[in-house]
Homo-oligomer: A and B are copies of this chain.
Amino acid sequence: MSDSTIYEVARLAGVSIATVSRALRGTGPVSAATREKVLRAVEELRFTPSRLGVSLAEGRHAANGIVFPDLSGPYFGEVLLGYEEVAAELGRSVLILSARDRAGVPETVKDLATRVDGLVVFGQTLPDALLTELAGSGLPMVMLAREAHPGTEAVRSENADSAEALAVHLIAHGHRAFALAGGHDEGDVSQRWTAVARTLGRHGIAAPRPVECPYTVEGGYEAGLELLGSGPDVVMCADDQVALGVILAAEELGLSVPGDVAVTGWDDIMAARHSRPALTTVRQPLRELGAAAARLLDELIAGAEPTDTTRVLATDLVIRASCGVHPVHPPEEP
């Protein structure tokens, strides 16, 4: 952008750059006549202050970053949207970074860190050592979809209670042979599996070991082919994409859902509602998750001390057809 600088504006207006700056930001006294001259010059030159100069002088970026894993799908998009919206309201630009190539990630993230006033980090995207280093350097950070790391804040949605409620519901359906699809290494998911295991245990049901798979439709399909061989009553999945994949696998194997096997997801992505059968799942407040992170980050940037606290957002159990047919099934609002 071959933009004009504050010097050209000052020259054209016949004043000093200090006056231009004051006139534009409304800091310090400027006579009406002078302001007028400055504004005219700004108009004529189509001057917009260089963010670089402003940031360097102000010592702040008016921008913050968000780093998320490679995963595609609707989940991150939604959270990102909520995040960007609030950040924009707070006058901050948003830098995104997808930590896909493990190789250069630490450098890339550190570079990102010098472009922003604060950072939101998704789940287990970054190694703990790096988080510690970043937090230690005084970078305001908010963790998303996991517990707070020392020196940060965190927001996640509720896991254990909803998982228990879902398990209880499935048990009430008469399901006894459970299968779990989707690894348990990630913070959020492992909390759910733990709660499920506890709940099943209380009912005298043995908790299965989750079958690891990528959180994609393809991953779910593969896991489904493997799982369904043992003839479970129900497959609980780490997220909706996995569940959709499992349903495809069931179809492939000639099994009816929920007739032969029930399937549940997590997240309530758009496809969950439109799938056949419609997916029983747990709705996460994705936009709110992003929005809350943006607000927390803003507080930290404003000077609040990190409290290592994890905020928990409520979820909704969404009962649809995939977990077993219900006597009454009121239509959803569009």
Q: Which A residues fall within an 8 A CB radius of B?
A: 1-3, 46, 48-53, 55-56, 61, 63, 72-74, 76-78, 80-81, 84-85, 88, 93-98, 100-101, 108, 110-115, 133, 137-139, 217-218, 221-222, 241, 244-245, 247-249, 251-252, 269-271, 274-278, 331, 334
B81 touches A114 (CB 8 A): no
> Taking A77-B72, A81-B72, A217-B270 as contacts, is the C-beta distance between A96 and B96 under 8 angstroms?
yes
Q: Which of B72, B76, B85 contacts A100 (CB 8 A)?
A: B85
Copy number in the complex reads 2
- Residue pairs across A and B with Cβ atoms less than 8 A apart, 28 shown, are A1-B114, A1-B138, A1-B139, A46-B133, A49-B114, A52-B52, A52-B55, A63-B115, A73-B270, A74-B74, A77-B80, A80-B80, A84-B97, A85-B98, A88-B98, A88-B101, A93-B97, A93-B115, A95-B95, A217-B270, A244-B270, A244-B274, A251-B331, A269-B270, A270-B270, A271-B275, A274-B274, A276-B277
6 closest pairs, A vs B, by CB?
A77-B77, A276-B276, A221-B334, A271-B271, A274-B275, A2-B138
Chain B neighbourhood of A245, CB < 8 A? 334
Given contacts A1-B113, A2-B138, A88-B97, 6 further A-B contacts (CB under 8 A): A77-B77, A77-B78, A81-B98, A85-B98, A95-B95, A241-B270
Interface centre among A74, A137, A278, A334, by most chain B C-beta atoms within 10 angstroms, is A334
- Find chain B residues with CB under 8 A from A85 CB: 98, 100
In-complex Cβ contact of A276 among B3, B217, B218, B275 (8 A): B275
Q: Is the CB of A96 within 8 A of B84?
A: yes
Interface centre among A2, A49, A275 (most CB of B within 10 A): A275
Contact partners of A84 in chain B: CB under 8 A? 96-98
Closest beta carbon of chain B to A255's beta carbon, Å = 14
